[in-house]
Amino acid sequence: MKALLLPTEATYDLIAAQLADRGYCILPQLLPAELNNALHRRVTGLDDEDFHRAGIGRELDFQLNRDVRRDETRWLNNEHPTDAAYIEKMAEFRLAINRRLFMGLFDYESHYAHYAPGAFYKKHLDAFKGQSNRVLTTVLYLNPEWQPQDGGQLLIYAENSDTVIETVEPNFGTFVIFLSEQFPHEVVKASRDRYSIAGWFRLHDPLQAPAL
C-alpha cells in the first residue's frame, strides 16, 4: 500500500518552497487516491439536512450573506473514520510545513462545502491581517470529470488587486494552499453540484482558554 504514503517528503519540499517564494501552491494531487475516493463517497453521501447555509446569521446578515456566498457547509467530524483519516493527513501536513518554514501552525479546522447549481462565492479574503488566527487556507476538490464549461473555477487574485493570477479548475484530487491574509479569491458560479473541503491552519490563540 505504498500509495498511502502520499504526500511524499519531496512534495512537502515543493509546497514549502512555493509558499516561501510566492505564497501559494496548486497540486493536481496531494492525497492517496483511496482517500480522495473515500472523501468523495462521504461528501456525496451526506443528506441536504447535514449541510448548513454558510455564514447563516440574523435576517439582514443572512440577505447580505446570500449576495456574497451560496455554498452550504458541514464541519468534518473526527468521530467518522473518513473525516478522521483526512484530519490525520492534515496533522502530518502541519508538522511537515512547520519543520520547513517555522510557521507555527497550531491547529486545523475544515468543512465540506457543497455548491448547488447556481452557487458562487464572491471575491473575499479568508482572514484580515491581525484580526484572525487563520494563516493558511487549503482547498481539496472532489469533482470527477469536471469540465471547464461547468464553471466553478477558483480565481486567485494578486494581493490588493483586481488581477487574476490563477484560475483553478475544481478537478478531482486537486489541492490548493495559500496564505489566508494575502490572497483575495472567488468561486465562479457553477452549473453542476460542486464539492470540496475547505480548511484553515491556525496559529495558537492565547485568548482561547485551554480545555481542562
Exactly one of 187, 195, 201, 202 binds ligand OGA (CB under 6 A); that residue is 187
Q: What track of x and - describes contact with ligand OGA for positions 105 through 144 (by CB under 6 A)?
A: --------x-------x----x------------x-----
Distance, CA of 159 to CA of 125 (rounded, Å): 10
Distance, CA of 1 to CA of 39 (rounded, Å): 18
Least CB distance to Mn ion at residue 111 (A): 11
Does the footprint of Mn ion cover residue 186 (CB under 5 A)? no
Exactly one of 105, 198, 201, 202 binds ligand OGA (CB under 6 A); that residue is 198
Give the count of residues interacting with ligand OGA (CB under 6 A): 9
Neighbour-count burial of 198, counting CB atoms closer than 10 A to its CB (0-12 exposed, 13-18 middle, 19+ buried): buried
Distance, CA of 123 to CA of 129 (rounded, Å): 17
Distance, CA of 78 to CA of 195 (rounded, Å): 19
Residues that bind ligand OGA (CB under 6 A): 113, 121, 126, 139, 154, 185, 187, 196, 198
- Which residues are near Mn ion by CB under 5 A? 126
